[in-house]
Structure 1
């Protein structure tokens, strides 16, 4: 583990835009991969952006879950950083401490709430610090197919899914703004999100279909 005083922006992983220090392999066709680093001891992949490096990190972790059934921090890190070349037990303990999760509890890496802390903890361990803004990490996760949930109903309504549901349900004005009924509950918390927007649309559809059945043939 790197010393606390280490500047993560001067680390090998940061220079390679590969914050997980993923080995280069000709068989891995990662999006944004430029090739292999140069110089003595070259082994790691180089990416065109930090976001693509974070994407590869996230996708590799979800592959461990989906293909091999690895769910806990202990299981995942033992494959990520095997004992043959790492002090894996220390790595596991560090990641568990950074995430605030028990190392034996199962995670669902298709959930933002589980994947993001793990990705950030691995970056911190590998680079000796966490040099990225929240936006950069979130974009890397988005590229990997895991989006940050909307924080409020208003934010949910602004997503592609939310806009489609509201428009379909007739809950937006001709100018594309949400009707007052939606704006009135726009501060509701994250758990409401897109689900409530889509639920509203579903209720509207049910009412429309019921009315159609009542019409004379």
Structure 2
């Protein structure tokens, strides 16, 4: 399994915020560890919504460029992968209040981050309910 899946942090969120649902003991020095995957997905959703609200980032290109910067990732390949999975061009505006679109975006990001997207629709539904 990948580190993100093991940590219930499929977005690979780094330490820095005191997220709800964090494990009491954090043994990964770089990445947050959550008590269940829905908490890690919830944190990813919160970050993406904040990208739009705080910084005006609302296209896949803008979102992924911030999420996976070129100094750490092949950002262009990441953008292309997510666009293909979501079915929209990189410049298309993503409606962060559209649950279906946001779910496809996060599922694509999870697959890119971890090489797989193992979570059921029920886990995503619970993550959205935790918002």
**TM-score tier (shorter):** over 0.9
C-alpha distance in 1 between matches for 2:67 and 2:30: 15
The number of aligned residues is 130
CA shift for structure 1 position 102: 1.1
1:14 pairs with 2:5: yes
Alignment of 1:71-90 (within 5 A): 71-90=58-77
Q: Which has the larger radius of gyration?
A: 1
Residue equivalent to 2:27: 37
Structure-1-length-normalised TM-score: 0.58
Residue equivalent to 1:119: 106
1:61 pairs with 2:48: yes
Q: Which has the higher contact order (CA 8 A, sep 6+)?
A: 2
CA shift for structure 1 position 116: 0.8
Residue equivalent to 1:23: 14
CA shift for structure 1 position 37: 3.3
Residue equivalent to 1:130: 117
Residue equivalent to 1:46: 33
CA shift for structure 1 position 139: 1.0
Aligned-pair RMSD on alpha carbons? 1.1
| Alpha-carbon contact 2:80-2:90 (below 8 Å) kept | yes
Partner SS, residue 33 of structure 2: strand
| Alpha-carbon contact 1:22-1:57 (below 8 Å) kept | yes
